[in-house]
Amino acid sequence: MLSTRKAFIGKSSPPMAHDVFPGILADTSMDPINKHHILLLGPSLGAVSGVSTHLNLLLQSRLGEDFRLGHFQVGSEGRDETAAIKVFRLFSSPFLFCRELIRSQVEVVHLNTSLNPKAFWRDVVYLLIAKALKKRVVFQVHGGKLPEDFFAGNGILTLFLKWILRKSDAVVLLAEIEKEAYSRFVALERVLLIPNAVDLRYFENCPEKTFPNKQISAVYIGRLTRDKGVHEILDALDMLVNEEMIETVRVTLAGSGPDEPSLKRLVADRGLEPFVTFAGPVFDELKQAFWEEAELFLFPTYHEGLPYAVLESLASGTPVVTTAVGGIPDVVEEGRHGVFVPLRDAKALAEAIKEMIGDRERMRQMSAACRARAEEMYSLDRLSGQFSRLYTEIIG
């Protein structure tokens, strides 16, 4: 159940853990002797998710120079499971976690969760085990509802949420909009804002974007689900076809998800096949090529924390058309790095696409501003530095 291996760095494939039960420990420190042991809880390192990206970035960052970093996998990651296997996983994982805390002398448990019911109730178990064993806990929230809305109308459960947050030694948030909400549940000095980051080395070879062609390469990357706004992208594209503007844009959809079959049927039914490509999940060299070729990032999502796709868009110099939800307004400045559109508004999205592709000089200026923003604010060194200070402070 336990193994030791390196976190992936650069262009190599991430370690895959889809075929094993939760409870795998990836120890990434070259010399663990005399280093404080930090255990990162979260999904498989090989899963297609923002939290998996976050974990991989922490494991490949400079944190490993000062701390012994491990990874404990939780969750099913969408695997097809029999009822017996699911029950075994749910009951065995907390026991494996407890054993690992005792055996490996873990000092800090860094729990990566979100305020949605499935993740919250699962991860509360790990938090309570860690606190029972007198471990420090970093409770990092990756999106979901704000705390006052999570158990809306249920005062007892809201008090329970407040108690859980106060059991944590630190609550880490991604977006400024979350900070005020959480400060009503836990002391402000224990609430930290640590935005996501991106490994800028991955984008060093991205060429300067000059937008020389009549047809713009617009892209989307992420899960193919309605709440990511993918249907609005296709609706907007359909409007551009009807306005005979389609020769100016082509869309590539990268990723996978439950809506993929219905989206492909929608493209076929509307005759959009010549203008839409389903690229599937992209990793490593394919992902690098994806961002090198991208000229406009379409991300009309309904709700977010601080999505890695937006940070990657900035790092590659790709202007973005998105919605002002979650932490996105912390990253994207309207008119400088991209433009905002209202939620669920395909017509506004189509108008924004036309506006962007109609002014190539503006797109060139945005592209340069995007790269500068990523380099100034969202480097991996900044992320590792903030977590290093946090771990050191709570260990004491």
Over the stretch 47-71, which tens digit does the pLDDT of each residue have? 878 899 999 999 999 999 999 999 9
CA nearest neighbour of 73 among 25, 109, 136, 33? 25
The answer, yes or no, to whether residue 6 has pLDDT greater than 70, is no
| pLDDT level of residue 78 (50, 70, 90 thresholds) | low
Instruction: Give the phi and the psi of residue 379 in degrees, each rounded to 5.
Output: -80, 155
| pLDDT level of residue 153 (50, 70, 90 thresholds) | confident
| pLDDT score of 9 | 31
- Mean of pLDDT values over 94-118: 96
| pLDDT level of residue 84 (50, 70, 90 thresholds) | confident
Handedness of CA 154, 156, 157, 163 (dihedral sign): positive
Question: Which pairs from 205-209 meet CB under 8 Å and 24+ separation?
Answer: 205/288, 205/292, 206/288, 206/291, 206/292, 206/315, 206/316, 206/317, 207/292, 208/317, 208/367, 208/368, 209/295, 209/317, 209/318, 209/363, 209/364, 209/367
- Quote the pTM value: 0.87
Looking up tokens 């200026």 gives: 365
What does each C-alpha distance from 336 to 30, 37, 87, 143, 364 come to in angstroms?
42, 42, 50, 25, 11
- Mean of pLDDT values over 158-180: 96
Which tokens is 89 given?
A: 């996983």
| pLDDT score of 362 | 98
CATH ID of 201-377, from 3.40.50.2000, 3.40.50.360, 3.40.30.10, 3.40.50.2300: 3.40.50.2000
Domain boundaries of the chain, sorted by first residue: 36-197+379-395, 201-377
Q: How confident is the model over 250-299, as pLDDT tens digits?
A: 999 999 999 999 999 999 999 999 999 999 999 889 999 999 999 999 99
| pLDDT score of 91 | 86
CATH superfamily, region 36-197+379-395: Glycogen Phosphorylase B; (3.40.50.2000)
Domains 36-197+379-395 and 201-377 share a fold: yes
The count of residues in the chain is 396
